[in-house]
């Protein structure tokens, strides 16, 4: 509407300039003729007006005539506007937030013993099943250690069995028998530890998943606890999303959760709520985690961005929604222009607004009904009681309104 008003003003200015130009041309012609006939004055007698004064008078008269408004009134500018009615929101609403798919678990695989790596059985990107052999440390030193303890225990076990038999006959001192029991137990634990260390030279996958990275090469010396490879669990995905505090406060009203991926249009996947982080991060957002079954679509993978839709129960039941373009502020209050179809006039109406609902819509708590027609385009050039005309909707077959 502002563009239409500016167009009318430019047209009026151009018309006025043309009229003034015509009068000036006429005045120039009159002056030329006058100077030829009366070069110094009118009448030539005493008290006659000098020619220059006559020119000034004529110029003033013409200018006043050109600036004098016409007797007929200027055509009134009638603004064109667009109207819409408030729509009632359903009892269940939804908002979408950006999220990212994560693996449900990521584990650094490491040996419990130290030594040189003899063999690595996996490569990055390989899928391994639970219990699959990942890497092997050279077991030479641990085999020797286990052999030594086995020999010591075998000797000690024979002595322990003999003393046990004598103790049953009461033929050995109790002190000697107790020393034999303690010595057998100690060597048995040392032998078990040596065997465990020998077994720990083999590194197995604790669960099925994909090898994300391999950090060492064969022949390199590694210490206890140093990560050899990274294994990610893909039997289920986690979807993480950050929620603003105003929306997080309504978590008790959350009803359903789903997500979609931009590269897979037209599909939505259900989510299961896992947990909330009850403390906001540095951006004042609350991390919320959902579980996603990877079987819903094999194209989904960790690291992909998704749009997470959270459906929730409306506090007010079925509130009204209105485009943000219909609102303006006056004296610190939110207002809209109501349209009266019977008189084609507008009237200012104060409204109470609620939450922003996305897609350019806002909740209206009071001041309007579903039957009201509200100006949603051209609101800033209107005044109370002004008569307006409605913009005609362009049909699909008349693109650009050319027909």
What is the C-alpha separation between 220 and 118, in angstroms, rounded? 8
CA angle 372, 377, 380 (to 5 degrees): 105
What is the C-alpha separation between 308 and 95, in angstroms, rounded? 8
What is the C-alpha separation between 375 and 346, in angstroms, rounded? 8
Give pLDDT, residue 56.
55
Give pLDDT, residue 45.
47
Q: Helix 2-37 vs helix 51-67: angle between axes, to the nearest 10 degrees?
A: 160
Give pLDDT, residue 200.
95
Q: Domains of the chain by range and CATH? A: 2-75 (no CATH), 81-88+319-401 (2.40.420.20), 94-103+230-313 (2.40.30.170), 108-228 (2.40.50.100)
What is the C-alpha separation between 362 and 374, in angstroms, rounded? 14
Tokens of 199: 């077994």
Q: How many CA atoms lie within 13 A of 130 on its CB side?
A: 6
Give pLDDT, residue 378.
78
**pLDDT tens, residue order, the chain (403 aa):** 455 556 555 666 667 766 666 667 666 666 666 565 555 444 444 444 455 555 555 555 555 555 545 445 555 677 888 888 888 766 667 789 999 999 888 899 999 999 999 999 999 999 999 999 999 999 999 999 999 999 999 888 888 888 888 888 888 788 888 888 888 899 999 999 999 999 999 999 999 999 999 999 999 999 999 999 999 988 889 999 999 988 898 888 888 999 999 999 889 999 999 999 999 999 899 999 999 999 899 899 899 999 999 988 766 556 788 888 888 988 888 899 999 988 889 998 899 887 776 667 888 888 888 888 898 887 887 888 888 888 766 555 555 554 4
Contact 86, 327 (CB under 8 A): no
Give pLDDT, residue 221.
94
What is the C-alpha separation between 159 and 177, in angstroms, rounded? 10
Q: What is the pTM of this model?
A: 0.52
Give pLDDT, residue 47.
45
Give pLDDT, residue 120.
95
């Amino acid at each position: 509407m502002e563009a239409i008003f500016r167009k009318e003003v430019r047209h009026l200015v151009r018309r006025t300039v043309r009229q003034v130009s015509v009068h000036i041309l006429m005045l120039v012609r009159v002056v030329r003729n006058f100077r030829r006939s009366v070069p110094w004055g009118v009448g030539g007698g005493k008290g006659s007006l000098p020619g220059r004064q006559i020119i000034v008078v004529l110029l003033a008269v013409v200018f006043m005539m050109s600036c004098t408004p016409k007797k007929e009134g200027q055509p009134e500018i009638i603004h064109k506007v667009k109207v819409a009615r408030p729509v009632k929101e359903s009892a269940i609403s939804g908002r979408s937030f950006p999220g990212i798919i994560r693996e449900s678990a990521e584990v650094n695989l490491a040996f419990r013993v130290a030594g040189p790596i003899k063999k690595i059985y996996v490569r990055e990107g390989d899928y391994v099943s639970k219990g699959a052999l990942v890497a092997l440390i050279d077991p030479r030193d641990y085999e020797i250690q286990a052999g030594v303890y086995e020999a010591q225990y075998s000797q000690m076990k024979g002595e322990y069995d003999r003393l046990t038999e004598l103790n049953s006959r009461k033929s050995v001192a109790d002190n000697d028998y107790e020393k034999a029991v303690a010595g057998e137990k100690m060597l048995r634990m040392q032998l078990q530890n040596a065997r465990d260390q020998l077994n720990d030279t083999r590194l197995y996958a604790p669960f099925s998943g994909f090898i994300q990275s391999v950090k060492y090469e064969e022949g390199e010396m590694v210490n206890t606890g140093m990560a050899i490879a990274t294994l990610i669990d893909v039997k289920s995905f986690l979807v993480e999303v950050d929620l603003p505090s105003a929306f997080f406060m309504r978590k008790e009203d959350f009803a359903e959760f789903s997500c979609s991926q931009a590269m897979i249009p037209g599909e939505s996947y259900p989510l299961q709520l896992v947990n909330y982080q009850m403390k906001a991060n540095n951006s004042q957002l609350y991390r919320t985690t959902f579980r996603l079954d990877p079987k819903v679509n094999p194209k989904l993978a960790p690291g992909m961005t998704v749009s997470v839709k959270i459906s929730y129960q409306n506090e007010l039941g079925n509130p009204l929604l209105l485009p943000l373009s219909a609102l303006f502020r006056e004296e610190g209050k939110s207002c809209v222009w109501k349209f009266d179809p019977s008189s084609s006039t507008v009237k200012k109406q104060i409204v109470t607004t609620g939450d922003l609902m996305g897609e350019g819509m806002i909740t209206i708590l009071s001041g309007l009904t579903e039957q009201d027609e509200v100006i949603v385009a051209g609101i800033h050039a209107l005044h109370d009681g002004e008569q307006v005309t409605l913009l005609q909707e362009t049909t699909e077959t008349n693109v650009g309104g050319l027909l």
